[in-house]
Amino acid sequence: MEIDGHTELYGFIAYPAKHSYSPIMYNCSFDHYKLNACYIAFEVAPTKLTDAILGVRSLGIQGFNVSMPFKKTIIPLLDEITPAAQRIQAVNTVKNKNGRLLGDSTDGAGFFADLQARGRQLKKKKIMILGAGGAGRAIIAAAADYDLAEVNIFKRQNGTYQKVQDWVKKVTAGSKTRFNVYPYSDIHKMKDILSQSDILVNATNIGMTEQKLPLAEELVASLASRLLVYDVIYHPAETVLLRRAKERGCQTCNGLGMLLWQGALAFESWTGQKMPIEEVKKRLY
């Protein structure tokens, strides 16, 4: 890649940002199509987001990804957001359309694109999701667009529990899929639901920094080998949950596939081209 006066600029805005795999993904894709474009990670202090977006507008940055802690706080700084972003009130992708900044959320669609790319059938399947934070909400909202049998969500019974129940009911209205929210502490219900599930998703951050399980030991010991266990965490590449699930004979996936596919959707939105998935995988895995 040779940068010149015509090079289009894309980027990643987060804090921290230096750990991101996104520059590898996008620059590999730009090189594949010989596009005169460059993708850079911008580490923006939480108090400087407004300045950063003014910079995006002034410099004519063509598109960028957003991660924590800005997925929600960026919304008032944009000109428009898509229905997908509206449903979860969070943005992870922004496109500059002739000076107007359009925010989108590709996280949930990226999760399901990863499952489909792995040949996983979704029709009439049952998914159990642990957690209803950012990643969980994106997956829940996107699940309403697929012909699943059930989506069962387990969430801590804290001050936001009722709000999450109300939100799930609202964003899934009209879907043929049944959605249920249960207290994370209800081990008996969790065991019952787990025994009927086809896919288990850990959408919490448990396992990211400590060697901990998001499930009770007795539940991990009962994981059926037919189960796909998906952890949205990708660093470490294999959490304790994934290691233990693999020992039980389960198919396992970390969050790198979700990262890859949400990025593929963003890349196509920006350039009109399909991300060269296999080429990018070789760089990431």
Amino acid, single-letter form, for residue 177: T
> Binding residue per annotation — 21?
yes
The answer to the question of whether 92 is labelled as a binding residue is yes
Strands 126-130 and 63-66: what pairing? unpaired
134 is in an annotated binding site: yes
The response to whether 132 counts as a known ligand-binding position is yes
Annotated binding residue 211: no
- 285 is an annotated ligand-binding site residue: no
C-alpha to C-alpha distance for 162 and 56, rounded to whole angstroms: 38
22 is in an annotated binding site: yes
Active site residues: 71
Give the amino acid at 74. Answer: I
The CA distances from residue 221 to 191, 194, 212, 227, in Å, are 11, 12, 15, 13
257 is in an annotated binding site: no
DSSP conformation letters of 184-250: TT-HHHHHHHHHH-SEEEE-S-TTSSSS--SS-HHHHTT--TT-EEEES--SSSS-HHHHHHHHTT-
Annotated binding site for NADP(+): 131-135, 232, 255
Annotated binding site: 20-22, 67, 92, 107, 131-135, 232, 234, 255, 262
Annotated binding site for shikimate: 20-22, 67, 92, 107, 234, 262
